[in-house]
Structure 1
Amino acid sequence: MPTLRYDRHHARQRLRLLILDGTPGTTALLLLAAHRALPRPDHVLAADTGLYTAAAYHHLSRLERIAADAGIGFRRADATIVAEHTLGNDHPCPLPLFTRDPDGTPGRLPNQCARRQAAVLAAQVRSLTEASPDSPGTVVECFRAVSIEHARRASAGTHGLRVRYPLLDIGWTDADCRAYLHRHDLADTRRLACLACPQHSGARWRELRAYQPEAWEEALAIDAALRHRHPHAAPRPTPPGTTYYLHPARVPLAHADLDTEDTPEVEGCSLWTCRGTEASGQHGVGEL
């Protein structure tokens, strides 16, 4: 059962949540709360897409133990529909894959991955708020990890959801978060990005190839399996013969030049700031 606090000013109960992703900021918030340096959330929510590596699941389990030791609830939201629709051929692929039409024209699929994750997380939030049916209304406070150099991303929240920004309150930067996590041997938050994410940088692919050979081989297999999807399996119509790729060079991942690529690194999977959302006209995720 969630710990619901009474908000005297609004005569409502309050539920504090932290949405965990692979960014250093959210992991830092969890650790700070566990150390009682910040107000503790009632629950930590994490979406499991089914596309994590073994190292990612190990990392997620470690964070779950940290939360449990601090008396913080931890829920894994089942978002494995992302894996099912990525690896299957009967539904639109949620990943923002790179495409090439038969005439050579490059393109990109819209990003539906973050929206799918947000939908299952929103369902978890609803289940928690419905745990107190006699309440006149539960105010949900969501902690978001926005550091001071990204303060422009802050918003007040809507529809009963209040967004709090503890990193802004304490004046922390991304570098502060990384340094704090490094001291506690939690620096590699990138593990919570999906194995088959088209947002990976060359450095991330090189890391998988060098240090996680099983994960690398799995990524190669997924990339090959995605190459010739049925036209109806794209989120919007694509010409017959269109090919699909995980790498922006639109070549098989096994043949991509990863050693000279300087694509900016993506630090985990963030529902609100994932690059590629612009491909589908999404500039944020409205469900949370």
Structure 2
Amino acid sequence: MIQLRVLSLGAGVQSTTMALMAAHGEIGPMPDAAIFADTGAEPQPVYDHLAWLMSANVLPFPVHLVSAGNLRDAIMGRVDWKSGNDGRPPFYVINDKGGAGTLNRQCTRHFKIDPIRRKVRELLGLKRGQPGPKTAAAEQWIGISLDEAVRMKPSRDRYIENRWPLVEKRMTRRDCLTWLVGHGYPMPAKSACTFCPYRNDAGWRDLRDNDPASFSDAVAIDKVIRDGMPGVKRSQVFIHKSLKPLDAVDLSTAEERGQLNLFINECEGMCGV
């Protein structure tokens, strides 16, 4: 029996739409709470939007902030994670033999999924180490839209049941944007760490042109990781898939390079939880 309904809030387009649709009664039953997992490394516009969501008369349910620490500070300090290399982003690497690849993606689970899971356990009244119920007791809403349905995965905990309300509504990310505009709400910024390697060139251009402080931060992180991270031996590490320093990457558009672009597609925001 479901005792608790929580909304996983990333403060991006999809999760914001999901939360506001719940506030309008368009998705139900009403969540008991939303949970925002803070990596300490989101662009400032994301935090500004989160503050708006948490302000009076926007959402009729509380928003809990949780954290597993500051991912940015850990990288800048070049310190080992408490579990060896636990929590690292999937940066691109090139080793001394010329081979290229990516680091195993650990940041989402360590800094997003696990802190939210701990808060769900707390809200269910479970103590540390206490086994959860044998059947679903919590329903977790996740802001995956129809165009990202491939990302839908069941919960690893038998007492937590994942739900995807936007998929149920057959809503794509573009539908979410339309819904927000139609209701006069502010447009959320892209929810992803400033140094997220899954950002495409359009995303990097947007960060560079519209949030130069965050772009400068990403450049600084890129320089820090260049000659390796804890546990990464004999490799150069990069944020950008080109395996070039971020501030040296050509981020110009096809039109700026003199090419005709017949299709203008908006980034679909595949990263994040």
Q: Tell whether the structures are fold-level matches, with TM greater than 0.5.
A: yes
Corresponding residue for 2:259?
A: none
Q: Judging changes above 3 Å, is the alpha-carbon distance between structure 1 residues 142 and 104 closer, same or farther for their aligned structure 2 residues?
A: same
CA offset digits 1:75-131 (Å, max 9, x no partner): 111133422432232322611111111232212111101111211111111111117
Contact 2:226 2:237 (C-alpha < 8 Å) held by counterparts: yes
Q: How big is the shift at 1:51?
A: 0.7
Corresponding residue for 2:26? 37
Residue number among 99, 109, 130 corresponding to 2:103 in the alignment: 109
Aligned: 1:123 with 2:118: yes
Aligned partner of residue 203 in structure 1, secondary structure: helix
What is the match of residue 54 of structure 1? Answer: 44
User: What pairs up with 1:123-202 in 2 under 5 angstroms?
Assistant: 123-130=118-125, 139-151=137-149, 154=152, 157=155, 158-183=157-182, 184-190=184-190, 192-202=191-201
Mark the runs of 5 or more structure 1 residues left unpaired by the alignment: 1-9, 272-288
Distance in 1 of aligned mates of 2:177 and 2:21: 13
Which structure dedicates a bigger proportion of its chain to helix?
1
Maintained 8 Å contact 1:19/1:44: yes
Are 1:49 and 1:79, in contact at CA under 8 Å, matched by a contact in 2?
Answer: yes
Structure 2 gaps of 5+ residues are: 255-263
2:255 matched to 1:257?
no
Which amino acid is the alignment partner of residue 62 of structure 1?
Answer: W
Matched, 1:19 2:21: no
Q: Is the 8 A contact 2:92 2:101 kept in 1?
A: yes
Q: Which moved more, 1:179-188 or 1:214-223?
A: 179-188
Q: 1:95 aligns with which of 86, 89, 93?
A: 89
Task: Please identify runs of 4+ aligned residues in structure 1 that moved more than 4 A.
Answer: 149-158, 260-264
Compared CA separation, residues 263 and 238, structure 1 to 2 (3 A) = farther
Q: TM-score, normalised by structure 1?
A: 0.76
CA–CA distance in structure 1, aligned partners of residues 108 and 210 of structure 2: 27
Deviations for 1:135-180, whole angstroms, at most 9, x for unmatched residues?
Answer: x958101112343455565566551112223224333233221211
1:180 partner amino acid: W
**Whole-Å Cα distance in 2 between the matches of residues 268 and 152 of structure 1?**
10
RMSD, aligned CA = 2.8
TM-score w.r.t. structure 2 length? 0.80
Q: 1:147 to 1:34 in 2, by over 3 A?
A: same
Aligned residues: 249
Deviation at 1:266, TM superposition (A): 5.3
Pair 1:82-2:75 in alignment: no
Q: How far apart, in 1, do the equivalents of 2:66 and 2:248 lie?
A: 35
Deviation at 1:50, TM superposition (A): 0.7
Instruction: Pick closer, same or farther for the CA change 1:131–1:90 going to 2, 3 Å.
Output: closer
Whichever residue aligns with residue 43 of structure 1, its letter is A
Identity percentage of aligned residues: 26
For residue 279 of structure 1, what is the aligned residue in structure 2?
none
